[in-house]
Amino acid sequence: MTFTELMQNGELRDRYKKVKQFFFLKESAYDVTSICQLRCEGCYYFAGDKYKVKDVKDPERWRTFLQQERARGINYVNLAGAEPSLVPQVLDACFETISMGTVFTNGLKPIASEIGYRIHISVWGDSAGDPLYRPLASGKPGPQCLPQQLKNYKADSRVMFVYTFNENNVTQVDDVLRRIHDEGHKITFNVYSSTVGGTSPLNVGPSLDRIREKMIDAMERYPNTVVYSRYNAEVHTSSSSLRTQFGCPYPRAVEGDQANVGISRTFRSYRADFTHVRQCDCCIPDTDCMNCRHYAAGSAIVTHRLDLHTKSEEAFRGWLDYVDTYLAVWLLGYTKGANLY
Amino acid sequence: MDDKEQYRQSLRTLLAEALEGSKAESTIGRDFPFEQDLISAGIDSLDLVEFYLRVEDRFKLKIPQDEYHNLRSIDAIFLFITQEVTGRSA
């Protein structure tokens, strides 16, 4: 099969044109603070030394910084850190300067409705799992996160819940799905990916097949709630990492002249003091690349390999679903079509 | 028009087809320079990959992904095709 032949199919051509118009997005990642109320088991932020910085708290400095980012072509920001909702003045400054992006939050403190970013709220388990996986920074057992998240973001269309599967919480998603569905929210999936040298009990292994089956079952049971595709489920629960399957375009993983194209050229992962180092320039620094199954990483790793997905109609359908899902998860107002794969 | 010019014009047409519907569609005119760096011209990564795939289909050859970063102008792609065809017939 060739690309030209695939474009003869009207259904595939239309979907390709739909998703293609959004590839002008140029993103980078920014830790906006090094503080958080929680110390989640296996947290990526506190895994490395990213938190050992002096935060820039002045909104004016953030405004100037993001103006410089805009000048180098960045038009989409991923605002993470430890917990972005704890620095609302920084979020204001960011939104005023670059209006497209996503905030990654634990959802325990609401983000003002004026901040028109996508909001990804992390979910790590049900009422049994949350206190276990997400203790307070003080070391005390953590709160019931989901009820608080649902209360803070009731009927808020900016929100996308993100359930991170780990080795031990596969069945806990059932209760989470029901509650999110009942509130009219959307949810997508992530797979816990170990940190470099990490020995967290969350690290996935034998459960990958069960996770995939659970993802597909969830899509079938809640088709209007779960934003995902069968192809997403397959590539994120493969025994091989995303990098092994597709290569990785993030600056952290590429060298020499290959770093001059696409996301390899422009993506940076800034710490809360505006510094960045090339060895950490990917969406989740400190992840072990050979175990990377991150939903955020896949948004670049899978989408950039159109060339690998034009060998058959089936493969191309999978790629189209993946990109369509990625845009629905990350772009406020984008509507996902029916899965084609 | 000699063969080289025809090939390069053909590549320019394939590039224009790849840019259809993208933000960079207005970038490519009849006088788009053959030596122009495509990324500097504002062409994004998916447009480029689609262009390479269209080149593969048109010229019945394979462009390895690890060559993409070397093929950033119509002239560079023309040279690549010439070498491929020469190698095939050698």
Break chain B into its structural domains and give their ranges. Answer: 3-89
Q: Could you give the CA distance from residue B50 to residue A7 in angstroms, rounded to a whole number?
A: 11
Q: Which residue of B has its CA nearest to A308?
A: B65
Residues of B in contact with A75 (CB under 8 A): none
Amino acid A275: pLDDT: 95
Contact A2 B53 (CB under 8 A): yes
Residues of B in contact with A4 (CB under 8 A): 54, 57-58
Which of A3, A24, A303 is nearest residue B50 as measured by Cβ atoms?
A: A3
Q: Contact, A341 vs A317, CB < 8 A?
A: yes
Instruction: Please tell me which residue, A45 or A174, carries the higher pLDDT value.
Output: A174
Residues A87-94 have a mean pLDDT of 98
Q: Is A191 helix (H, G, I), strand (E, B) or coil?
A: strand
Contact B65 A307 (CB under 8 A): yes
Task: Pull the structure tokens for residue B78.
Answer: 């023309």
Contact A3 B22 (CB under 8 A): no
Q: Could you give the CA distance from residue A214 to residue A109 in angstroms, rounded to a whole number?
A: 30
Interface of B with A in 56-75 (CB under 8 A): 56-58, 65-66, 68-70, 72
Handedness of CA B18, B20, B25, B29 (dihedral sign): positive
Interface of A with B in 255-294 (CB under 8 A): 257-258, 260-263, 265
DSSP code of residue A106: -
- Residue-wise pLDDT for A47-86, tens only, equals 878 888 999 999 999 999 999 999 999 999 999 999 999 9
Amino acid A303: pLDDT: 95
Mutation target among B43, B45, B51 for the A interface, most CBs of A within 10 A: B45
Amino acid A264: pLDDT: 83
Interface of A with B in 23-42 (CB under 8 A): 23-24
The identity of residue A332, as a single letter, is L
- Per cent of chain A over pLDDT 90 is 81
Within chain A, residue ranges assigned H as helices are 3-6, 10-20, 59-71, 88-97, 129-133, 145-152, 173-182, 208-221, 230-236, 242-246, 262-266, 295-301, 313-330
Which of A2, A20, A247 is nearest residue B46 as measured by Cβ atoms?
A: A20
CATH class of the domain at A3-330: alpha beta
Which of B45, B56, B70 is nearest residue A304 as measured by Cβ atoms?
A: B45
Contact A261 B56 (CB under 8 A): no
Q: Could you give the CA distance from residue A65 to residue A280 in angstroms, rounded to a whole number?
A: 19
Residues A132-144 have a mean pLDDT of 91
Amino acid B89: pLDDT: 66
Q: Contact, A294 vs A281, CB < 8 A?
A: no
Interface of B with A in 36-55 (CB under 8 A): 39, 44-50, 52-54
Residues of B in contact with A24 (CB under 8 A): 22-23, 44
Show me where the domains of chain A are located: 3-330
Dihedral in degrees, nearest 10, Cα atoms A47, A281, A108, A299: -120
Task: Pull the structure tokens for residue A137.
Answer: 């920074």
A113 vs B: CB within 8 A: no
Task: Pull the structure tokens for residue A42.
Answer: 């296996």
Residues 6+ apart with CB under 8 A from A3: A310, B50, B53, B54, B56, B57
Residues A139-161 have a mean pLDDT of 96
pTM of the model: 0.95
Q: Contact, A112 vs A89, CB < 8 A?
A: no
Task: For chain B, report the end-to-end CA distance as a whole number of angstroms.
Answer: 26
The identity of residue B24, as a single letter, is A
Residue A283 has pLDDT above 90, yes or no: no
CATH 3.40.50.300 fits B3-89, yes or no: no
Residues 6+ apart with CB under 8 A from A166: A42, A124, A133, A192, A201, A202, A203, A204
Handedness of CA A27, A33, A37, A42 (dihedral sign): positive
Residues of B in contact with A305 (CB under 8 A): 65
Contact A23 B57 (CB under 8 A): no
Distance from CA of A170 to the nearest CA of B (A): 35
Q: What angle do CA B8, B11, B12 make, to 5 degrees?
A: 90
Amino acid A254: pLDDT: 85
Candidates A34, A149, A142; CA nearest to A82 is A34
